Amino acid sequence: MALNSLPDYKIRTMKDDLAKLAGKPEDIRTTKEVAPPEKLPIAPKKFRASLPSTEELITKVFIPKSKKSELPSPPQPKITPSQTKPVKIKKAKPKLLIILIIILLIAMGALGFLYWYGKEKPESPPAEEEYQPETPQPSEYLIPVEETKIISLETNSLSDLLRQEAQLDQPIKSFKRIAILKNENEFLSLSEFLQELEVNYPPYFLPQLKENYNIFLFNQETGKRLLLIVETENIENLREQLTIWEETMLEDFKNFYPIDKPGQPASESFLDDIYRDIAIRYINLPFSTLTINYTIINNLLIIGTSKEAIYTAIDNVLD
C-alpha cells in the first residue's frame, strides 16, 4: 500500500458524540461557518521541538503496526567510541610542576656557587720546582785535548790524585785534561791549585793572569808529564815576574812531578830555546826528557816539565 493512499476507514467526528450527550444535536450545529484566519499563530520554539512531525503522525495513526516494520528506517549516523566519551581537558600535574621548580632552583644554586668559587678563591701559587743543583762544568779548553777527567779533593789529596791518574793508561803524545773539584759544586781556582801543590810564586804573579786555566797530563815514551796553561792579562808585566821567579822556580815546582822526581839541574840558571819562532826558557833535570820550562804564546802562559810536552803544546796552539 502506498503511503499516499489511505484505507477506507470511517471517520468519526465529535458532532455525533456531543449530540448523544446533550440530546439536542441541533443546538450544536453551527449556523455560520467561520473563515479561517489569514495567518495562523506560530508556536514558540520551546513547544515546537516537542510536536511530532507529519510523517510520525501518519505512521502512528494510519499505518498498522504490522506494516510499520516494512518501512525503511531512516539512516542512523555512525557514532564512534571516541565521540561517546566526554572530552577531558588535561591539567598540569602539580607534582611535575614542583619537580621542575626544584630542578630550576638547584641549577641556579649551582651556577651561583660556581661564580662565587671562581671569583673568591685565591689563585694558588705556582708549584715550586724541585731544586736540582746544576752539574758544575770546568772552564773552557785552552788547547784541544783527547780526554777530560774530573777528580775530587773529597776523596784524596791533589798530589795523590795526580799520581793515580799518571799511572793509568793513556795514548802516547796525547793530552788528558784534569779538572779538580774542591766540593760538589765548585772547581779549584788557580790560586787554590797552586796552594794544594805547595807552589810558591811571586806576589805580583797572579794579577797578571786570568782565572781560566787548564791542567794536563801529557804522555810520552819516557812517562807522564804535567803542564799548566793559563790565560794572561798583561804579558809585559808577566815576563818581568817570570824573570824574577826563575831564581826559585825549580824548588817551588818540586811537587809538579807526579811520577819521576827531578834530579840535579844540568845548568845553574835558565837557558833560551826557540821552537817555531816561540822563545822558551828552560832548565834540564838533567836531561831534556824531564825539565822545568815555560813560554808565552799568543795570550797563553805554558809551564811544562819536558821539552816534548811544551813543543807539542805549542803545536796545538799554532795549528
Contact 303, 281 (CB under 8 A): no
H-type helices in 182-248, by residue range?
190-196, 235-245
Does residue 54 register a pLDDT over 80? Answer: no
Does residue 55 register a pLDDT over 70? Answer: no
| Cα–Cα separations (whole angstroms), residue 72 to 59, 75, 79, 82, 291 | 12, 9, 20, 28, 154
Residue type, 251: E
Quick one: pLDDT band at residue 44, thresholds 50, 70, 90?
Answer: low
**pLDDT value at position 221?**
94
Specify whether the backbone of 72 is left (phi greater than 0), alpha (psi in -120 to 50) or beta.
Answer: beta
pLDDT in tens, 247-265: 999 999 999 999 888 889 9
Does residue 84 register a pLDDT over 90? Answer: no
pLDDT-wise least confident of 26-40, 176-190, 285-299: 26-40
| Cα–Cα separations (whole angstroms), residue 74 to 54, 70, 77 | 15, 12, 10
Strand pairing report for 223-232 and 300-304: antiparallel
Does residue 31 register a pLDDT over 50? Answer: no
Which is more confidently placed, 17 or 225? 225
pLDDT in tens, 168-224: 999 999 999 999 999 988 999 999 999 999 999 998 999 999 999 999 999 999 999
Quick one: pLDDT band at residue 101, thresholds 50, 70, 90?
Answer: confident
Which is more confidently placed, 91 or 311? 311
Mean of the per-residue pLDDT values of the chain: 79
Contact 281, 267 (CB under 8 A): no
d(CA 206, CA 192): 12
The angle subtended at Cα 37 by Cα 36 and Cα 40, nearest 5°, is 115
Exposure string for 232-268, b = 16+ CB within 10 A, e = fewer: beeeeebeebbeebeeebbebbeebbbebebeeeeee
Contact 59, 71 (CB under 8 A): yes
- DSSP-based three-state secondary structure for 260: coil
Exposure string for 143-172, b = 16+ CB within 10 A, e = fewer: bebeeeeebeeeeeebeebbeebbeeebee
d(CA 248, CA 205): 13
Q: pLDDT over 90 for what percent of the chain?
A: 50
pLDDT in tens, 218-228: 999 999 999 99
